[in-house]
Amino acid sequence: MKLLAIFIGICLTVFSYACKTKPQALQKKDTDSIYKFSQPSPDGIGKFYFDREIAHVMGAAGASWLERVEREKEEGTAKVIANLSLPPNANVADIGAGTGYYTFRIASQIPQGTIYAVDIQDEMLAILKSQAISKKINNVKVVKGSETNPNLPPSSIDLAIMVDVYHELAYPHEMLQAIYKALKPGGQLLLLEYKGEDPSIAIKPLHKMTVEQTKKELNANGFKVKNVGDFLPIQHFLLFNKE
């Protein structure tokens, strides 16, 4: 496993549901008591949710790293998709889709369904649209989201996924509430996050999540854990049901 490459990559990656500016995450205008503010650490924004400091978002400079040939071996992408067990007519949202690494792989599994590729960066949206055209894939819809909302219709999706995105959301409560509304009754949310319990995984701590912390935050927003998969090399497979 090329942990050094992973460590370097996380510093460049567009995994994040990223934005070009960070001030919104730091301003105390969102005075809701669900967030706390303190002096930021080198890798954080000084904003805390359930005592977890939110990580800096990353830019689009590392788009090519998302498509590296080693990614399947390092992360077990095929296993993730196989464990989703999606019906062919499922509607899925890839939130923080980046270059569409997961988007287009899932699209082939749901030929009668739709996958919404949601991102906040114009550069990523352009790549997603270009990829959909070049690959001649017609069931991908590119959506521009915001820091607080994926901008999906209510009760429109069966599954939402966030791949190494959640820990960087500047407004996790608002985003989870918006996803909850976009999910159909019985819908599910999948988070893939680097294993925060494992110090041997060469990722900065704020860019990892523990199972315990993830459950705490998701439970507070109406999600109940269905499956904590331990079959991936460096990530948690965390599947939640909409209660």
Please give the Cα distance from 169 to 191 (Å, whole number).
Answer: 12
Q: How much is the pTM?
A: 0.88
Please give the Cα distance from 201 to 208 (Å, whole number).
Answer: 9
Please give the Cα distance from 3 to 202 (Å, whole number).
Answer: 6
pLDDT of res. 132: 97
Positions of the chain with pLDDT lower than 70, given as ranges: 1-32, 59-62
Task: Report, in this order, helix, strand and coil percent for the chain, each rounded to 5.
Answer: 30, 25, 40
* 215-to-72, 87, 144, 211 alpha-carbon distances in Å: 26, 26, 28, 6
Please give the Cα distance from 117 to 207 (Å, whole number).
Answer: 22
pLDDT of res. 18: 41
CA dihedral 33, 189, 164, 168 (to 10 degrees): -20
pLDDT of res. 13: 41
pLDDT of res. 51: 97
> pLDDT for 16-65, tens place per residue?
454 433 444 444 445 468 999 999 999 999 999 999 999 998 766 667 77
Tokens 């923080």, residue located: 96
Pairing of strands 52-55, 44-49: antiparallel
Nearest to 27 by CA among 39, 18, 17, 37: 37
pLDDT of res. 59: 66
Q: Are 164 and 3 in contact (CB under 8 A)?
A: no
* 65-to-15, 18, 60, 145 alpha-carbon distances in Å: 10, 16, 10, 23
